[in-house]
């Protein structure tokens, strides 16, 4: 059966039909998936029944995988030590310990782990248990956000770096051992170009990481705050985004180089369990 690509009709995202990801992917099928991914930035595969090994095998088509950080493997027993490539995203608490990361709070717009020198190019998220409401995940297309950026804002950031703070998680909580940032110019993390060129598609995209503790190099904190507020208000415009409402068995892969994402909060009395992988990337330029 040929692979079907069904665009969401929004600014990014497409559903792929006709593939069972519990089976190895042939070269032609992967070629079709890969092309669709570069074209649509986020791909959705519905109704999948994949084991952790399947998830790892599928993810490896795109590149080498990151290993979940010690803070994740340290969580309750659910994080299988034998498969360090699997990261658990969950609010479930077992024996007083969370089995995964991010809890039930809202995660504001961000791109994954951009606070390191070589951030992951992609993340893969597979849903095992989902709450009856909330917890939807939205994506925004940063090629389009850059294309539509007002000229004065573009001129203000062209050729500049932005810092990407590592002190807090995507739900805004201080990481273990981190200190609260008092001056954004001193925030720990990484500096990357505010506009990056995608190494495969050659497209230019806005690359800001997250709003919290951001700073545009070369500006006073006050000027940078004003610019970042305008930039983030622009990125968050509905015309650049698409929201995914999860069902069990959905698998998403997104490109961190040209998309940002956010997650709604949900009722913490319900369970949400997702397994995830992360694909290594190179230094933004
Ligand atoms: C992530 C993330 C969103 C979600 O895994 O990087 O932001 O829907 N998760 O859980
Ligand atoms: Mn994320």
Q: What are phi and psi of 219, to 5 degrees?
A: -105, 155
Whole-number Å distance, alpha carbon 89 to ligand 1 midpoint, is: 7
Q: What is the mean pLDDT of residues 112-133?
A: 98
- Who's near 259: CB < 8 A, 6+ residues apart? 12, 41, 42, 111, 139, 140, 141, 142
Whole-number Å distance, alpha carbon 263 to ligand 1 midpoint, is: 6
Q: What is the mean pLDDT of residues 60-87?
A: 78
Mean pLDDT for the chain overall: 95
Q: Is pLDDT above 90 for 79?
A: no
Residue 82's pLDDT is 74
Going by pLDDT thresholds of 50, 70 and 90, the confidence category of residue 68 is confident
Ligand 1 pocket (Cβ < 6 Å) reads 89, 102, 107, 112, 123, 125, 137, 170, 261, 263, 274, 276
| Residue minimizing CA distance to atom 9 of ligand 1 | 263
Residue 77's pLDDT is 53
Residue with tokens 């810092």: 163
Residue 106's pLDDT is 97
Q: What does the CA dihedral 218, 209, 107, 281 come to, rounded to 10 degrees?
A: -160
pLDDT digits (tens, 9 = 90+) for 83-115: 899 999 999 999 999 999 999 999 999 999 999
Q: What is the mean pLDDT of residues 233-259?
A: 98
Residue 263's pLDDT is 98
CATH 3.60.130.10 fits 4-279, yes or no: yes
Nearest to 281 by CA among 205, 199, 207: 199
Whole-number Å distance, alpha carbon 23 to ligand 2 midpoint, is: 27
Q: What is the mean pLDDT of residues 266-270?
A: 98
Q: What is the mean pLDDT of residues 197-202?
A: 98
- The greatest distance separating any two alpha carbons of the chain, rounded to the nearest whole angstrom, comes to 57
Q: Is pLDDT above 90 for 7?
A: yes
Q: Is 81 exposed, middle or buried (0-12, 13-18, 19+ CB in 10 A)?
A: exposed
Q: Is pLDDT above 90 for 42?
A: yes
- Specify the DSSP class assigned to residue 189: E
Residue 71's pLDDT is 65
Going by pLDDT thresholds of 50, 70 and 90, the confidence category of residue 76 is low
Tokens of 185: 């110019």
Residue 34's pLDDT is 98
Q: What is the mean pLDDT of residues 108-136?
A: 98
Helix extents (H) in the chain? 27-40, 52-60, 70-73, 142-147, 151-157, 221-235
Residue 15's pLDDT is 98
| Residue minimizing CA distance to atom 4 of ligand 1 | 263
What is the C-alpha separation between 255 and 146, in angstroms, rounded? 16
Residue with tokens 């034998």: 82
Q: What is the mean pLDDT of residues 17-44?
A: 98
- Which atom number of ligand 1 is nearest to the Cα of residue 135? 8
Whole-number Å distance, alpha carbon 260 to ligand 1 midpoint, is: 11
Residue 2's pLDDT is 84
Residue 145's pLDDT is 98
Q: What is the mean pLDDT of residues 53-76?
A: 85
Whole-number Å distance, alpha carbon 103 to ligand 1 midpoint, is: 10
Across the strands, what pairs with 26?
none
Cβ–Cβ < 8 Å for 98, 92 = yes
- Specify the DSSP class assigned to residue 78: T
pTM of the model: 0.96
- Which atom number of ligand 1 is nearest to the Cα of residue 274? 10
What is the C-alpha separation between 202 and 124, in angstroms, rounded? 22
- Which atom number of ligand 1 is nearest to the Cα of residue 102? 10
Q: What is the mean pLDDT of residues 151-177?
A: 95
- Which atom number of ligand 1 is nearest to the Cα of residue 87? 5
Domain ranges of the chain: 4-279
CA 233 to the chain's CA centroid: 19
């Amino acid at each position: 059966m040929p692979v079907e690509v069904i665009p969401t009709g929004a600014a990014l995202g497409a559903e792929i039909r006709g593939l069972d990801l519990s089976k190895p992917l042939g070269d032609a099928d992967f070629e079709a998936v890969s092309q669709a991914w570069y074209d649509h930035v986020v791909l959705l595969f519905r109704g999948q029944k994949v084991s952790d090994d399947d998830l790892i095998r599928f993810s490896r088509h795109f590149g080498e995988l990151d290993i979940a950080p010690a803070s994740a493997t340290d969580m309750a027993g659910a994080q299988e030590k034998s498969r360090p490539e699997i990261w658990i995203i969950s609010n479930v608490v077992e024996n007083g310990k969370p089995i995964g990361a991010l809890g039930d709070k809202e995660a504001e717009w961000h791109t994954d782990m951009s606070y390191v020198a070589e951030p992951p190019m992609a993340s893969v998220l597979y849903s095992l248990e989902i709450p009856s409401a909330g917890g939807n995940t939205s994506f925004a297309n940063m090629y389009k956000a850059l294309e539509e950026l007002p000229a004065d804002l573009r001129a203000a950031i062209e050729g500049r770096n932005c810092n990407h703070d590592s002190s807090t998680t995507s739900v805004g909580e201080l990481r273990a051992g981190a200190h609260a940032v008092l001056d954004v110019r001193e925030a720990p993390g990484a500096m990357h170009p505010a506009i990056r060129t995608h190494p495969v598609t050659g497209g230019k995209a806005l690359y800001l990481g997250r709003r919290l503790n951001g700073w545009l190099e070369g500006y006073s904190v006050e000027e940078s705050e004003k610019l970042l507020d305008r930039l983030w208000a622009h990125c968050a415009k509905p015309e650049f985004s698409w929201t995914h409402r999860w069902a069990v068995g959905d698998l998403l892969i997104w490109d961190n180089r040209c998309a940002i994402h956010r997650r709604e909060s949900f009722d913490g009395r319900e369970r949400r369990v997702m397994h995830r992988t992360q694909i290594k990337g190179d230094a933004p330029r």
